[in-house]
Amino acid sequence: MTRPILLTTGTLLCAALLWAAVPVKAAAAVSGLPDFTELVEQAGPAVVNIQVTQFGDRARNRNRNRGDQQAPYDQEDIPEFFRRFFDTPGNPGNPGIGQPDRRGLGSGFIIEDDGYIITNHHVVEDADQIVVRLDDRREFEAELIGSDPQSDVALLKIDAKGLPALAIGDSESLKPGEWVVAIGSPFNFEQSVTAGIVSAKGRSTGAQQYVPFIQTDVAINRGNSGGPLLNLEGEVVGINSWILSSSGGYIGLSFSIPIETAMGAVKQLRETGTVSRGLMGVMIGPVTREIAEAMSLDRSAGALVNDVTPGGSAERAGIQPGDVILEFDGQTIETSGDLPPLVGAHPPGAEVEVLVSREGRKKRFEVTLDALNGDSGGAETGGSGPARQSNALGLAVEAMTAEQRRALGNPDGGVIVSDVESDAAFRAGIRPGDVVLMINSEPVGDLGDFEDIVSGLEPDKAVALRVLRDGVTSFFAYTPSAED
């Protein structure tokens, strides 16, 4: 029995010695993990450090006008938990006389050897001076060619030749689980390298609705903003832009701008200094399971049209509130977040085909896109008057007076909800003061229409209400219950 034990131990010892002799790169290959050394050696010199300065008086005036003198300027207008990874060290934000210059740090990368550099819009936003430091420690003051807040992309130019430039890759071919690498200057530690995998694609954060973000688990922190996200070929597939964090530090969720989206913006910035996008003129919402049932859809997919801009491209084409957009220019719309990036990728004047579902039937429309300008405002709701008896929907409603209708912007028809008696309706989001404009696909012109439509509803079947609230229309869906 002794001999086999000695043989096994010797074998293990021999194997351990052989493993120790394997080079690190070969060991990585044996273990199935990639070796990033050559990638970093090739791509690293094209990654730059960006230092921005906002001069004291201007920073002070900007803070005073903003009414938020303590908030660092890289944090404004960011949804809760979303943080840009742009470092602004040593700035207490004191609005008093003699406030020092505000300085910030970010990253960027060279895309052409004659000095064109990409970074984030929020890195250079309102900067009075932009200094680019190369990998070889040379520094240049950069010219801002143009910047686009909608895509969070900015294009810089420095006076230099023969610079190393990164190759542009293909983010559309990326797959979840694929290895990616980030290089940047977190906390001003230049040429820092982190790696991870693609977690998901086509993410919508709400901040930039025209960007289908790449989600990764690559470690990203402040100062990484504007740096490249690279595939294993060393090609740029994205620009690091956001993290999801409650503390401002990396917790495993990072978001990058797809390189196709960025280069589309760069092309326009280089040609005109600005970026123009197509506008469809719809306000959209998600298709929930209840809405899908109420709209006679076989699954909860697409983008629900809550409202259309009067005179806009969608209305001119014949698209109506309550339509569910299933395809845009041949691209399937799985979620409402899929639509804005597709629309924004088309220029104003483009003609596209849109497939919608209306009352369970599919219809196609030819839409000529308008130019993106801005959002329209709304009016407050409210009302009083004799409430009507509750009904199968569990809602008490009343007619609108002429004064109420004027205050609401003179909507076409509608009745005001005076009380929500149904638990299902309340859980769905219906509130007193809401104006019911449509039930399923039928418009509500007045109280008579409302009662006729409700009386014809099938029991225990989901219903979708188009509701006007604070100048914005949305759909709410629920299944009325006899127990409410």
Residues of the binding site for substrate: 122, 152, 223-225
Closest alpha carbon to 54 in 76, 38, 74: 74
Annotated binding site: 122, 152, 223-225
The DSSP result for 334-392, as a single string, is -SGGGHHHHHHTSPTT-EEEEEEEETTEEEEEEEE-EE-------------SPPPPP-T
Give catalytic status of residue 474 as yes or no: no
Cα torsion angle, 340, 342, 347, 353, sign: negative
User: Can 107 be counted among the known catalytic residues?
Assistant: no
DSSP 39: H
β-sheet bridge partners, residue 470? none
Contact indicator for 410, 439 with CB cutoff of 8 Å:
no
Considering only CA atoms, which of 101, 99, 154 is closest in space to residue 132? 154
395, 436 Cβ separation under 8 angstroms:
yes
**Centroid of chain to Cα 25:** 38
Active-site entry in 87, 152, 307, 338: 152
Per DSSP, the chain holds a count of helices (H) and strands (E) of 12, 28
Q: Tell me how far apart the alpha carbons of residues 71 and 248 are, in angstroms, rounded to a whole number.
A: 14
Catalytic residue among 87, 107, 122, 245: 122
Burial 308-324 (b: 16+ CB within 10 A, else e): bbeebbbbebebbbbbb
Write down the residue that tokens 């759909």 correspond to: 475
Half-sphere exposure of 484 (CA within 13 A, CB side): 21
User: Any idea which residue has 């964090």 for tokens?
Assistant: 245
Note if 151 is an active site residue: no
Round to whole Å and give the CA distance between 19 and 37: 21
Q: What is the dihedral of CA 68, 74, 76, 79, to 10 degrees?
A: -140
Backbone φ and ψ of 40, nearest 5°: -65, -40
Tokens of 65: 């006008």
For the chain, first and last CA: distance in Å?
79
Smallest CA-to-CA distance from 264 within 108, 146, 113 is with 146
Q: Judge contact between 220 and 77, C-beta under 8 A.
A: no
The answer to whether the CB of 353 falls within 8 A of the CB of 329 is yes
The active-site residue out of 192, 225, 357, 418 is 225
3-state secondary structure of 183: strand
Catalytic residues: 122, 152, 225
